[in-house]
Amino acid sequence: MAGMAGRTAAARAREFLFEWEGRDRQGKPVRGELRSAGEAAVGAHLRRQGVTVLRLRKRRLPVGCAIRRKDVALFTRQLATLLRAGVPLLRAFDIVGRGSANPRLARLLQAVRADVETGTSLSAALRRHPRHFSALYCNTVQAGESGGVLEPMLERLAQHEEKALALQARIRSALFYPVTVLAVSAVVLALILVLVIPSFTDVFRSFGADLPAPTRFVIALSGWFVAWWPWLLGALAGSAWAAAAAWRRSQRLRDAAQAALLKLPLFGELVFKAVLARWTRTLCTLFAAGIPLVEALPSAGAAAGNAVVARATAQVRKDVASGMALSAALQAAGVFPALLLQLTAIGEESGALDAMLAKAAEFYETEVDETARGLTSLMEPAVIVVLGSLIGGIVVSMYLPVFKLGAIV
């Protein structure tokens, strides 16, 4: 298996873009581009299509950047638009692939297209690339293929991905300011301790008088930092690396951290609302696509991104599979809020569960936005006060001997 994976990776690394010109079966001139590992494969592919190759030019493919979730969302929106316009599926893949600015995404779409061309269903072709297409994505596409409504399902997927990206952007924007300010402040404090305080120390030695206690403390802290900062930096880097490695390897650690995150003051509420927004939006998308609740719930639990909600969703799935109503199962789990329970119960009674789940998703997405704005406005003065106290305390401590000397004089 390792050897096969190595050969596959090597083949991808040797992939080229071939520009070809030739004539079709009727003798008409045709031209195009193909991505392949060698000229023989290109020639064989074109001969199967009845093309006589007259000219073939090879050039190396650019590596391109990693495929992001934003790229997949854009591809989904473009594919849905082309299918709605009546463009055949394979032709739509060609158009989107040629229009992609990311060579890696273009190669991914070419691989999916090649599988579909050989008779594989689109959902099965997508499942061969789980790194880029989640179970939710593939299940929705499969539901669309089974019901003959692929284009509406792709529209739902595109909307789902776009809303998920918007939610992610709102959370990041809320955390960007305080994290940036704290990082810059840490660098400034380190520079003060390493570069500024030692120069004051040399001046204070010439006074020949006892220094105030705050000044002695700051000088001692600066001396310790100057002597140990390389070791401190190495310890921080090593701790970060060890924590990242433990996070990747230990599911128990991730579960404990995600559970603790929900209990944090202020931030815990924001995280929980974001988890509920993802959970309800995913369940709404799958249920509206015609996927049964028992099959949709595991994908919703995985999309929530939190171990507490994922475990509760697993229990809800068991209860629903045994015949319990979704609202009753959610209430028995003891994790989901009363508003979601009420909307779910109304949706079950009225036969519009997907609409009620959509309303719940919109509500929690709005709540995330408002909570994020509130936290940002609350943290700005708090960060300023804390940093002002630290830096102001250091400045005052270093000028106390000057004030004392002036009082004596």
Q: Which residues sit opposite 57 in a β-bridge?
A: 19
DSSP string, 17-49: EEEEEEE-TTS-EEEEEEEES-HHHHHHHHHHT
Split the chain (409 residues) into runs of 10 and give each run's mean pLDDT.
40 59 79 69 76 76 68 87 87 83 82 85 86 81 78 82 79 75 80 80 69 81 82 85 82 82 82 87 82 85 84 91 90 89 90 88 86 77 80 80 60
Residue 395's H or E segment, with its range, is helix 353-408
CATH of domain 168-409: 1.20.81.30
| Cα 120–Cα 123–Cα 127 angle in degrees, nearest 5 | 95
Angle of helix 251-261 relative to helix 307-321, nearest 10 degrees, comes to 100
* 3-state helix/strand/coil string of 129-160: CCCCCCHHHHHHHHHHHHHCCHHHHHHHHHHH
Distance CA 280, CA 345 (A): 14
For the record, the structure tokens of 225 come out as 């930092």
Residue with tokens 């270093």: 398
Distance CA 323, CA 52 (A): 62
- Give, rounded to a whole angstrom, the gap between the first and last alpha carbons of the chain: 83
Single-letter code of the amino acid located at 207: F
DSSP string, 292-323: -HHHHHHHHHHHHT-HHHHHHHHHHHHHHHTT
For the record, the structure tokens of 135 come out as 């179970």
Spatial contact of 397 and 218, defined as CB atoms under 8 Å apart: yes
Give the pLDDT confidence score for residue 316 in this predicted structure. Answer: 92
Q: Phi-psi category of 50—alpha, beta or left, where left has phi over 0 and alpha has psi -120 to 50?
A: left
Q: Phi-psi category of 305—alpha, beta or left, where left has phi over 0 and alpha has psi -120 to 50?
A: left
For the record, the structure tokens of 163 come out as 């809303």
pTM for this predicted structure: 0.64
Question: Cα dihedral angle (79, 84, 90, 92), rounded to 10 degrees?
Answer: -50
Residue with tokens 């979730």: 69
Residue 55's H or E segment, with its range, is strand 52-60
Q: Which of 250, 281, 242, 303 is nearest to 365 (CA)?
A: 281
Q: Domain 69-163 maps to which CATH number in 3.40.640.10, 3.40.50.170, 1.10.3210.10, 1.20.81.30?
A: 1.20.81.30
Distance CA 379, CA 385 (A): 10
For the record, the structure tokens of 326 come out as 């979704």
